[in-house]
Amino acid sequence: MSEVSEQVESTVREWVDQVVVKLGLCPFAAPVIESEGLKVVVAETADEDDAMATVLQEVRALIEGDDEGVATTMIVTPNQFKDFEAYLEILAELEGVLDEAGADHLIQIASFHPDYLFEDVEADDRSNYTNRSPFPIFHLLRQEDVEEALDSWREPMRIPERNIELLRTLSKEDWERTFGTEETEG
């Protein structure tokens, strides 16, 4: 692994620990992190097709259980998909490939991007930070694991609402400590 890949992976793991787990944005993440079940793959390529091939390779590995102990995989593309709209286009293509291969019921792709923007939400709204990450990320989850986790949660459909509410009510100091940026209106 190159020094750049190591730094990118370290940054992503710190973001997962300090934002996703610490704030509880994904209430199912902590046990996966504690059991070292998160695999982070850095696709340093500047070639879009190579990056997509890496995602699909990791889909196969997750379905087939190639990596014992891996529960979920994040593919980080620090040199690709910096434009959010282009990222969404690739995400749609990847989801289409999963559908065509009949794997859409096996794997779910969660999306994270530095410029994540929910439809009909202002760019500076704090709610966007529920899916903002240091780099473009395609997060692969086994559908059966997602369903099992959701079944164990009292009100799983409230999780996104709870996350938005949490971010919108963080104090200025907590916001800056967590995100390292000046307070965003929200």
Mean pLDDT (whole number) for 103-124: 95
Model pLDDT, residue 146: 85
* Average pLDDT rounded to a whole number, residues 108-121: 96
pLDDT at 8: 98
In sequence order, the 6+-apart residues with CB closer than 8 A to the CB of 66 are: 60
Q: Where are the domains of the chain?
A: 3-179
pLDDT digits (tens, 9 = 90+) for 122-173: 999 999 999 999 999 999 999 998 888 788 777 878 899 999 999 999 999 9
Residue 62 pLDDT grade (very low, low, confident, very high; cuts 50, 70, 90): very high
Widest distance between CA atoms in the chain: 47
The 10s digit of each residue's pLDDT in 40-49 is 999 999 999 9
The answer for residues whose C-beta is within 8 angstroms of residue 116's C-beta and 6 or more apart is: 84, 128, 129, 131, 132, 133
pLDDT of the residue at 184: 52
> Can you spell out the DSSP letters for 94-121?
HHHHHHHTT-TTTEEEEEE-TT---TTS
User: Alpha-carbon Rg of the chain, whole angstroms?
Assistant: 16
Classify domain 3-179 by CATH number: 3.30.110.10
* Beta-strand pair 107-112/72-76: unpaired
pLDDT of residue 182: 64
Q: Cα(47)–Cα(44) distance, rounded to whole angstroms?
A: 9
As a whole number of Å, the end-to-end CA separation of the chain is: 39
| Residue 183 scores a pLDDT above 70 | no
